[in-house]
Structure 1
Amino acid sequence: MPPKAKHSNSANAKKQASDTPTPSVNTEQPPGVFRRLAAIVYDGFLLFAVLFVATLIPAFILSPESFSATPANNSVVHELDIPLQGWLYRAYLLMLIIIFYGWFWRKSGQTLGMQAWRIKIEHQNGGKPSWGQCIIRVAVGAISLAAGGMGYWWIWLDKDGLAWHDRASRTVLRAIPKDKKKA
């Protein structure tokens, strides 16, 4: 009799284990266009602040007199120095944009805007994207926006719901469901 009881207990345990779904972020659907764009707008405000402060640093180093209480020429309008208008300055800002997104994506798979809109980025095979994927994603994402958002609107035509930069960087975005309150 004990062996039969032992067999029925293990059968019950197997049944309970099969009834319980295993949670996986990979089973979630990709977020829609408007949810993605809302996260971009949210991140855009934060990125603007980061780039603003990042611009103040070289501006102060190259022309500290612009930051004095009484300007030397008593003018109100200030122009950027020539070094802050060239290709080196643009490369500096581009590097900061890549580091901004790459750091968030590599750390937790989410920027602050993605956290607010419950979106997570992953490598197609799962896991965090590589730095190479982050760079490709930022570059193709900029092209997607510059093309009037066509890279994002493409989601409606793509059978997997992927944007241009998702395909190019071999990454996917997942919508994270809301946590249900525990009673």
Structure 2
Amino acid sequence: MNAQAPSTPPAAAPSAPTPSAPPVPTIRRRLAALVYESVLLFGVVFISGYLFGTLTQQRNGLTHHNLLTLWVALVVGAYFVWCWTRGGQTLPMKTWRLRLVAVQTGRPPKPARALARYLAAWLWFLPPLALHPLLHLPVPATLLATLAWFALWAAAARLDPARQFPHDRLAGTRIVAVEAR
């Protein structure tokens, strides 16, 4: 009879190092990119408004103003969704070395998630601006309410464990820092 030595459990395979999560950029850096984005968007909105006015032969700024608002929102939304789904960056995000990724995959978001983020990002401005017609606030009070809401929205990222803005949390996305090449 052969006596068998007690079997020893196989050695555990060395675990592959888990990739560390990309660093979260500072709120100041993300807001700086937002300022740059607004400058760039001025051109996008200007050109789309000019195109709309030319195609509709608009002679007065109040003619078709609701349709113009919708048109500009669609053009800006198309710009963001296109940029975010193709690499996760707009030009200002590239400049400030930021990237938008889906939380689950760590890759640029799919179009539906990018669209959800675009729509959720309107929460930066719409709530206080909605107070203007609802409460008949004067313009300075509306501006003050908008600035206060903007500051609260930005400060909310400090309360988030991942340091993300509320619209990113709602859309299932996050902004990460990109390593310098």
TM-score by length of 1: 0.70
Read off the aligned partner of 1:90 and give its amino acid letter: T
Give every structure 1 segment of 4 or more consecutive aligned residues whose post-TM-superposition deviation is greater than 6 Å.
none
* Pairing of 1:171-182 with structure 2 (within 5 A): 171-179=173-181
Tell me if 1:44 matches 2:24: no
- The Cα offsets for residues 30-59 of structure 1, whole Å up to 9 and x where unpaired, read as 111111111111111111101101111121
1:103 aligns with one of 50, 57, 82: 82
Q: 1:81 to 1:144 in 2, by over 3 A?
A: closer
Q: 1:81 to 1:156 in 2, by over 3 A?
A: closer
Name the structure 2 match of 1:169: 171
Name the structure 1 match of 2:159: 157
Q: CA deviation at 1:122?
A: 0.5
Name the structure 2 match of 1:129: 109
Let me know the Cα RMSD of the aligned residues.
2.5
1:57 aligns with one of 41, 48, 51: 51
Stretches of structure 2 lacking an aligned partner (at least 5 in a row): 1-13, 126-145
Name the structure 2 match of 1:74: none
- The Cα offsets for residues 58-82 of structure 1, whole Å up to 9 and x where unpaired, read as 2123337x6xxxxxxxxxxxx4251
Name the structure 2 match of 1:75: none
1:34 aligns with one of 28, 35, 47: 28
Q: CA deviation at 1:150?
A: 2.3
Contact 2:52 2:68 in 1 (8 A): no
Q: Secondary structure of 2:71's match?
A: helix
Tell me if 1:117 matches 2:96: yes
Name the structure 2 match of 1:82: 63
Tell me if 1:140 matches 2:120: yes
Q: CA deviation at 1:89?
A: 1.6
Q: CA deviation at 1:148?
A: 2.0
Tell which structure's C-alpha radius of gyration is larger.
1
Of 35-44 and 146-155, the range deviating more from structure 2: 146-155
Q: Secondary structure of 2:150's match?
A: coil
Q: Secondary structure of 1:120's match?
A: strand
Stretches of structure 1 lacking an aligned partner (at least 5 in a row): 1-14, 67-78
TM-score by length of 2: 0.71
Q: Could you tell me the percent identity over the aligned residues?
A: 24
2: CA distance, partners of 1:117 / 1:101: 16
